[in-house]
Amino acid sequence: MKKIWTSAAALLLVLILAACGSSEEDSSSGEGNTEITVGATSVPHAEVLEEAKPLLEEEGITLNIEEYQDYILPNQDLAEGRIDANYFQTIPYMELQEQDNEDYDFANLGGIHIEPIGVYSQKYDNLEDVEEGTEFVMSRSVSTHGRVLTLLEKEGLIKLDESVEKVDATVNDIVENPKNLQFDTGVDAAGLPEVYNKEEEVLVAINTNYAIEADLVPKEDAIILEGTNSPYVNVIAAQSKDEDNEALNTLVEVLRSEDIQTFIEEEYEGAVIPVSGDSE
């Protein structure tokens, strides 16, 4: 009986040692990669992240992508720790979200690209033909109002109060409106393409990611298109406590790499414009 127990103990010891050896081999074979989960709206953000996946694998980072169809949940999930970072928003939007939500404490890890916002219409091909009293529809997101109104002012459609910062401007800051445009700011950003498709006589300011999803080509279909010097760069955002996270900062470096910048330029043909680190 004693010999049986001794043999069993020896066998158990061999199995334990073998398991330890197997674990070490797994770790060295790449299964010990750092995993990060990044939230992103589908187009173009999730598509860009998919392109970056193999480059991140080379850096020992496994990227999981959580896709969203709105602008609210990605920040909620980031604040609650369900994702490590998100990639969908501009700096003014992020700052406004932090003001409106006490539990939001985010850091901008770096700008990746600009999506020039455009104004679309089924009825009008140019601004000269826009009739008096035409309805102008834009997102309910206040963070985009100054952006759109600045674009309209540049084109001579309105004039804003000079004492107001352009980025903070709202329709209440319009001091001149020669065509008496009627502003509707009650539509969710994702619903703007539907307004464009259903309402033929309106002007609609559509975020480029939603325009692309709706098969619009900004450079061809927009009657007004924002320039490349826009301050509304799309950034990688993380919780402030993760500002120095090595894997997340590597993500930014990869997204700014020549490979990814070339992909953005070729894939979106000017509808999405990559930026360098100096463009934040």
Q: pLDDT by residue (tens digit) across 73-117?
A: 999 999 999 999 999 999 999 999 999 999 999 999 999 999 999
Residue 239 CA, chain-centre distance (Å), reads 16
Confidence band of 32 (pLDDT split at 50, 70, 90):
confident
The pTM score is 0.77
3-state secondary structure 100-122: HCCCCCEEEEEEEEECCCEEECC
CA-CA distance, 149 to 173, in Å (whole number)?
9
DSSP 23: H
Topology agreement, domain 33-116+231-279 and domain 118-225: yes
For residue 31, pLDDT beyond 90: no
Residue-range domain boundaries for the chain = 33-116+231-279, 118-225
Q: What is the mean pLDDT of residues 53-74?
A: 97
Phi, psi of 277 (to 5 degrees): -60, -25
- Strands ordered across the beta sheet of 233-239: 61-68, 34-41, 85-90, 233-239, 106-114, 273-274
Architecture of domain 33-116+231-279: 3-Layer(aba) Sandwich (3.40)
Cis peptide before 231 (omega within 30 of 0): no
DSSP 80: T
Confidence band of 27 (pLDDT split at 50, 70, 90):
very low
Summarize pLDDT for 144-183 with one digit per residue, the tens. 999 999 999 999 999 999 999 998 999 999 999 999 999 9
Class of domain 118-225: alpha beta
